[in-house]
């Protein structure tokens, strides 16, 4: 077998390989993208019970104004609704932790009560503040049901700071940052209630 024949075989196989890969990629790309979107939204939205809403909150982000709060910054907001009635507002909040930024997803129901808090991103010390990234997390679950007035402003702090919340063991700065971010989000919700809930209420 001479050189030319080898070269032709190589070229043919290369063309065939590229063609097949391209075809397979093209025919599967939409399903893969859909699956990825679904997984991402499920990961974000598991602060809410699955049957609590029937819209696609992530497809309709809210436009937020004055996103710089006193201890944190809002990155985005979503509205979950059922049968056209708003049931919850999800706020993505970023705050400064001990070792970097902490990103929290804070779910607030239409009456201003906390439904749940989930950590989306954190770089805290593993096995101390890093526990805040666990899901579900016992310390973050303790905030469910709280609101801006329950407890009052002074109570929104660690027991160490004369507030009424425990802290994550060995992680005062992380705990303080999380509490302040949650408090900020509740205050923001209260101040921008009509814009966040929408006209449907």
Partner 1 sequence: MNTSATLSNSMMLVLLIGASDSVAGALATLLIFAVVMGVYGVCMAPLRSRLSSQSLLPVSLVLAATLTGCADIFLQRSAMQWHQLISLYVGLIGLQCVVLEHNGFFRQPVRAPLNLCGLFAVLMIVLAVLRELIGQGSIGHHLSEHWQGLILFSEGLHFATLAPGAFILLGLLLAARQAWTRPADLPEETHHP
Beta bridge partners of 78: 61, 90
Contact between 169 and partner 1 by CB under 8 A: the answer reads no
Contact window for partner 1 (CB under 8 A) among 21-29, 57-65, 137-145, 148-156: 21-29
Q: Does 36 bind partner 1 (CB under 8 A)?
A: yes
Applying CB under 8 A, the span of 6-14, 60-68, 75-83, 166-174 interacting with partner 1 comes to 6-14
Question: In the complex with partner 1, which residue's Cβ is closer, 33 or 154?
Answer: 33
Q: Beta partners for 165?
A: 158
Which residue has tokens 């994550």? 168
Stretch that binds partner 1, among 7-15, 44-52, 55-63, 149-157 (CB under 8 A): 7-15
Inter-residue contact 175 to 158 (CB < 8 Å): yes
43 binds partner 1, rule: CB under 8 A: no
Stretch that binds partner 1, among 28-36, 58-66, 84-92, 139-147 (CB under 8 A): 28-36
Backbone angles phi, psi at 59, to 5 degrees: -75, -20
3-state secondary structure at position 82: strand
3 binds partner 1 per the rule CB under 8 A: yes
The verdict on 141 binding partner 1 (CB under 8 A) reads no
Question: Does 149 help bind partner 1 (rule: CB under 8 A)?
Answer: no
CA distance 76 to 61: 7
Least distance (Å) between residue 33 CB and partner 1 = 10
Phi, psi of 78 (to 5 degrees): -135, 150
Other C-beta atoms closer than 10 Å to the C-beta of 46 total: 14
CA separation, residue 57 to residues 44, 86, 112, 146 (Å): 10, 11, 18, 23
DSSP 86: E
To the nearest whole angstrom, how small is the minimum distance from the Cβ of residue 192 to partner 1?
36
Q: Give the binding site for partner 1 (CB under 8 A).
A: 1, 3, 6-7, 9-10, 13-14, 16-18, 20-21, 24-25, 28, 31-32, 35-36, 39
């Amino acid at each position: 077998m001479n050189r030319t024949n080898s070269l032709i075989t190589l070229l043919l196989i290369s063309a065939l390989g590229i063609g097949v890969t391209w075809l397979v990629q093209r025919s599967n790309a939409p399903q893969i993208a859909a699956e990825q979107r679904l997984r991402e939204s499920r990961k974000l939205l598991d602060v809410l019970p699955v049957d609590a809403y029937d819209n696609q909150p992530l497809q309709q982000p809210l436009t937020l104004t004055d996103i710089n709060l006193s201890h944190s910054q809002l990155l985005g907001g979503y509205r979950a609704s059922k049968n056209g009635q708003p049931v919850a507002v999800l706020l993505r909040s970023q705050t400064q932790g001990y070792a970097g930024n902490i990103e929290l997803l804070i779910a607030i129901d239409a009456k201003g009560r906390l439904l749940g808090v989930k950590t989306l991103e954190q770089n805290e010390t593993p096995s101390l503040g890093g526990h805040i990234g666990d899901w579900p997390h016992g310390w973050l679950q303790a905030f469910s049901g709280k609101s801006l007035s329950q407890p009052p402003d002074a109570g929104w702090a660690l027991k160490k700071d004369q507030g009424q919340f425990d802290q994550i063991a060995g992680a005062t700065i992380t705990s303080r940052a999380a509490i302040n971010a949650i408090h900020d989000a509740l205050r923001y919700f209260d101040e921008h209630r009509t814009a966040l809930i929408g006209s449907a209420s």
